[in-house]
Amino acid sequence: MGDTFTKVKITTAFEGKPNARAIKTYVDNDGYAGLKKALGMQPGQIIDEVKASGLRGRGGAGFPTGMKWSFVPKDDKGAKYIICNNDESEPGTFKDRYIAECNPHMILEGMIIAGFAIGANKGYIYTRCDFFDEIKWLETAIREAYDAGFLGDNILGSGFKFHIDHYAGAGAYICGEETGLLSSLEGKKGQPKLKPPFPAISGYLHRPTIVNNTETLAAVPWIINHGAAAHKTMGTEKSPGTKLFCLSGRVKRPGVYELPLGYPIEKLIHEDAGGMLPGYNIKACIPGGSSAPILTAEELKGLTLDYEAIAAKGSMLGSGAIMIIDDSMSMAELLKVTVEFYHHESCGQCTPCREGTGWLANIMTGIMAGEGKKDDLQRMFEISRNMEGKTICALSDAAAMPTKSIVTKFGAEIADFIERGKRA
């Protein structure tokens, strides 16, 4: 491996450039060069190159991207689809919309390359409806790409055709789950579907479909242009490349940071982000969006930002949303807003999720109202334990995992909150 801390811009390469989102700016800086190279390759070669790069899904699951593409049946000559999951709804996450702000064309180029690799001629971008500017930037980029011949029936005279439509969802967290997204795209209620069959076999309109996160697709042109070996010089052996991290909380410089995987979290917080604001100290950290189990300040020591290291601490890298919880914040209030969010966003399809998130929210409402009971923490732990792994999608787990970790690691603080509430 190369120098783990070497910082190379891949998905934020156009950050700060004048007229960054314009197609001319993109093309003048090697934009669509990856597509031109890909059109001269065999589809299987592209999939093998993405496999060799070690690129893993940047939406949260971290599944190998090239392997996912390889699941699409090669002998199926019917319609196939590429879907860009731009429904960024995980609390604390704001990276995908930042890619659209830096330059949306890298998203389009990644989709076209992916389409050529799996034999798809149609793609959809599914964007959360709240992202008004991002929707405008993406739709402008799509028009520019058509006008320049990068989209259409005969891309760059290659004979390959690929068309992209842009779809704005209604703002449901559950549509960030790939099968829930597909249900919505089909005009149905945004509810997840049972797997198998997986979307690569039977997805949109029951046809082979690849759903990739925005950041994942945006990394593809760089990999094709520079090669898998160059991508593997960054990051770690099992987590190669760069990742966007959304840092929030009372740090001096919150924002989006593109860093090699394996980067020390303390270096990000105390050097890149300038450390905590005066008068505040780190009490805890949520490393991968609100669905990730919480880590204590002590657990951050020596921790690196990669899938394996964070999993070893009992949490998840997830979407890369790093939320710093400082010593002025109430863990009871944090837990309340977390469980209320998941209760509100549950689609209601599965009983453990529908009822479990409601029970957790009701218990926390009672605690915050000064009506907490001594056994509330144990009840929440047991409810959460019974919610995990028993539903169609992972939303139930997303509510259960942070609840269990907060109750386990900060139970004394919440118990004290309950006692003070009774005395008040």
Q: What was the pLDDT predicted at 420?
A: 86
Q: What's the chain's average pLDDT?
A: 95
CA–CA separation, 228 and 41 (whole Å) = 14
**What percent of the chain has a predicted confidence (pLDDT) above 90?**
95
Q: What was the pLDDT predicted at 401?
A: 97
Domain with CATH 3.40.50.11540 in the chain: 23-232
Alpha carbon separation from 275 to 324, 334, 357 (Å, rounded): 11, 22, 35
Domain with CATH 3.10.20.600 in the chain: 242-326
Residue 421 pLDDT greater than 80, yes or no: no
Q: What is the CATH number of domain 242-326?
A: 3.10.20.600
Nearest to 120 by CA among 207, 37, 179, 45: 207
CA–CA separation, 104 and 110 (whole Å) = 10
Domain with CATH 1.20.1440.230 in the chain: 331-423
For 55-75, the pLDDT digits (tens) are: 999 988 889 999 999 999 999
What is the 3-state secondary structure of the chain?
CCCCCCCCCCCCCCCCCCCCCCHHHHHHCCCCHHHHHHHCCCHHHHHHHHHHHCCECCCCCCCEHHHHHHCCCCCCCCCCEEEEEECCCCCCCCCHHHHHHHCCHHHHHHHHHHHHHHCCCEEEEEECCCCHHHHHHHHHHHHHHHHCCCCECCHHHCCCCEEEEEEECCCCHHHHCHHHHHHHHCCCCCCCCCCCCCCCCCCHHHCCEEEEEHHHHHHHHHHHHHCHHHHHCCECCCCECEEEEEEECCECCCEEEEEECCEEHHHHHHHHCCCECCCCCEEEEECCCCCCCCEECHHHCCCEECHHHHHHCCCCCCCCEEEEEECCCCHHHHHHHHHHHHHHHCCCCCHHHHHHHHHHHHHHHHHHCCCCCCCHHHHHHHHHHHHCCCCCCCHHHHHHHHHHHHHHHHHHHHHHHHHHHHHC
Q: Kindly state the average pLDDT of the residues 343-364.
A: 97
Q: How confident is the model at residue 422 (pLDDT cuts 50, 70, 90)?
A: low
The model carries a pTM of 0.94
Q: What was the pLDDT predicted at 62?
A: 86
Q: For residue 305, count other CB atoms closer than 10 A to its CB.
A: 26
For 226-251, the pLDDT digits (tens) are: 999 999 999 999 999 999 999 999 99
CA–CA separation, 352 and 225 (whole Å) = 46
- Residue 260: what are its φ and ψ, rounded to 5°? -65, 140
For 368-404, the pLDDT digits (tens) are: 999 999 899 999 999 999 999 999 999 999 999 999 9
Q: What was the pLDDT predicted at 1?
A: 37
CA–CA separation, 357 and 348 (whole Å) = 10
- Dihedral of CA atoms 42, 26, 222, 151 in degrees, nearest 10, equals -30
Q: What is the CATH number of domain 23-232?
A: 3.40.50.11540
Is 331-423 assigned to CATH 3.30.390.10? no
For 271-321, the pLDDT digits (tens) are: 999 999 999 999 999 999 999 999 999 999 999 999 999 999 999 999 999
Q: What was the pLDDT predicted at 3?
A: 44
Q: What was the pLDDT predicted at 2?
A: 40
For 160-204, the pLDDT digits (tens) are: 999 999 999 999 999 999 999 999 999 999 999 999 999 999 999
Alpha carbon separation from 378 to 351, 355, 363, 403, 414 (Å, rounded): 21, 17, 11, 11, 12
For 207-222, the pLDDT digits (tens) are: 999 999 999 999 999 9
